[in-house]
Amino acid sequence: AQSVTQLDSQVPVFEEAPVELRCNYSSSVSVYLFWYVQYPNQGLQLLLKYLSGSTLVKGINGFEAEFNKSQTSFHLRKPSVHISDTAEYFCAVSSSGSARQLTFGSGTQLTVLP
């Protein structure tokens, strides 16, 4: 069985500061990893994904994430956040390569303060 743990439920940060949202997963097989963003009263939008290859993945809106197999982590980072980055962020893992097996974390609410 696979699982995803997002270690922080709420992350407040000042505008233009860097941010890291943490995600750890457990799976006994190879994984595919995703970060989704949800703006208020919206559906989920894909930020970035790791399927194979380079462990540093760049996504939209200046976000990036690093896949660390030894630490079973996929932390999301942005060097300088904006007010508009305020949203909920979900980490997800698929271990079979099929969307049927997509398991989501509980989410991290990022609040960017002026």
What does the binding site for other proteins look like in residue numbers (CB under 8 A)? 4, 6, 9, 32, 34, 36, 41-46, 49, 51, 90, 94, 96-100, 102, 104-107
**Shortest spacing between CB 83 and other proteins, in angstroms:** 22
Nearer to other proteins, 28 or 41 (CB): 41
**Shortest spacing between CB 48 and other proteins, in angstroms:** 10
Nearer to other proteins, 99 or 113 (CB): 99
- Return the residue matching tokens 């992350």: 11
Nearer to other proteins, 36 or 74 (CB): 36
Cα 111 to Cα 11, 30, 57, 58, 67: the distances in Å are 6, 33, 23, 21, 24
Residues pairing with 25 in the sheet: 4
Q: 103-104 and 10-14 as β-strands: parallel, antiparallel, unpaired?
A: unpaired
Nearer to other proteins, 17 or 46 (CB): 46
